[in-house]
Amino acid sequence: MAYGSRILIIDDSQNGRSVIGEHLHLDDVYIEVETDSKRGLSKVLEEPPDILIVDIAYAGLDGWTLIDRIRRTRHVQELPIIMVTGIADIEMRVQSFEMGADDVIQKPYNTAELNAIVRNITRLNRFRRLADERHRVEQMLHHVSHSYDQTIEGWVRALDLRDRETEGHSSRVAQMTLQLAGMFRYGEDRIKHLWRGALLHDIGKLAISDTILRKPGALTTEERRIMMKHPMHAHEMLYPIEYLRPALNIPVYHHERWDGTGYPFRIKGDEIPFEARLFSVIDVWDALSFDRPYREAWPQDKVRSYIESEAGKHFDPQVVPVFIDFLRQLDSMGKLPTEKKAA
């Protein structure tokens, strides 16, 4: 038979019986009585109850020793404990609380009051257990999420190692995307998906051959056509992974242009997901700000002039001025990531 709560009463006042237990009338509760404090402690440690009731009029100092041991034992230290005493002594009541009792009941007690106190502590303990369980589940989910993100970072490192010209590019643009999104009051509940999408924006290039991906010169028309398929390869790779579906907007749409001349779908304006419009400005800025095998990094004033000239053509005209202001802020703080030239 299953019970909602289990109460252990340590009461050596009678042989195998407890007046306290006989006065408790609670639904969905199993009551167990132990007449020896040492055996009671063993039961608490081996199979913790939901509530412990101790009659200290009979347990005496053993009762306080029992509570002290419980409060110093990690897996039962939060166990709700009710002390029952037949001594009308305020100092004893205070000491009971100081030793760790959650409540103290003095004999002769009112049966209705006794039941109300136990019922209330039972309810609070259930809430605590639910909160603890929720916390454990949240910790497990956080651990799983962290493991997933470590896997993503591993994929990106593999891509960076393969495409050496963009080493560090993915993590750099992902961080800047989160910072820029903050200037648009982007929803906190979507930040994780934004970060994953930015980090994985070029994951589709894993499906592109090395002869094309690492070609030092300009691509042929056919090679460019193959390269332009990498957003769709990203979709094919990421969509089957359910927790990554909310992050697809950047990997799939970051090469679309505001004027509709981008790829792979040639959509335009607000048809392009906001995340992709935000990211594309950062992606181009980073590409121009760092050396490539076929050209050196541009000076920052030239990069910014180019981006401003592309507002309403390549880029969302509302994103560009915010991004330029964002660059100025980073520059003024000495935090603008740019190509470091050897002295």
- In contact, 66 and 40? CB cutoff 8 Å: yes
**Are residues 89 and 172 both part of a single domain?**
no
Q: Give the pLDDT confidence of 226-274 residue by residue, as tens digits.
A: 999 999 999 999 998 888 899 999 999 999 999 999 999 999 999 999 9
Q: Give the pLDDT confidence of 63-75 residue by residue, as tens digits.
A: 778 888 888 888 8
pLDDT at residue number 65: 80
The residue segments making up the domain with residue 309 are: 163-332
Check residue 250 and give left, alpha or beta (phi > 0: left; psi -120 to 50: alpha). Answer: alpha
pLDDT at residue number 80: 87
Q: Give the pLDDT confidence of 150-181 residue by residue, as tens digits.
A: 778 777 777 766 665 556 788 899 999 999 99
**Are residues 225 and 117 both part of a single domain?**
no
Q: Kindly list the distances between the CA atom of residue 279 and the CA atoms of 50, 189, 274, 316, in Å, as whole numbers in the listed order.
A: 53, 18, 8, 11
Flag whether 144 is in a domain.
Answer: no
**pLDDT at residue 140 is higher than 80:** no
CATH of the domain at 96: 3.40.50.2300
**Are residues 97 and 18 both part of a single domain?**
yes
CATH of the domain at 321: 1.10.3210.10
Flag whether 142 is in a domain.
Answer: no
Flag whether 14 is in a domain.
Answer: yes
Better-scored residue on pLDDT, 120 or 324: 324
**Are residues 72 and 21 both part of a single domain?**
yes
pLDDT at residue number 153: 77
pLDDT at residue number 206: 86
Better-scored residue on pLDDT, 299 or 144: 299
**Are residues 285 and 196 both part of a single domain?**
yes
Chain mean pLDDT for the chain: 83
The pTM of this model reads 0.60
**Are residues 73 and 171 both part of a single domain?**
no
**Are residues 125 and 199 both part of a single domain?**
no
pLDDT at residue number 223: 93
d(CA 254, CA 276): 5
pLDDT at residue number 254: 97
Cα Dmax for the chain: 96
Q: Give the pLDDT confidence of 38-60 residue by residue, as tens digits.
A: 888 899 999 888 888 887 655 44
**pLDDT at residue 342 is higher than 60:** no
Using CA atoms in the order 152, 157, 160, 166, what is the torsion angle rounded to 10 degrees?
80
pLDDT at residue number 82: 86
- In contact, 203 and 241? CB cutoff 8 Å: no
Q: Tokens for 157?
A: 């490192």
Flag whether 148 is in a domain.
Answer: no
Tally of domains within the chain: 2
- In contact, 266 and 260? CB cutoff 8 Å: yes
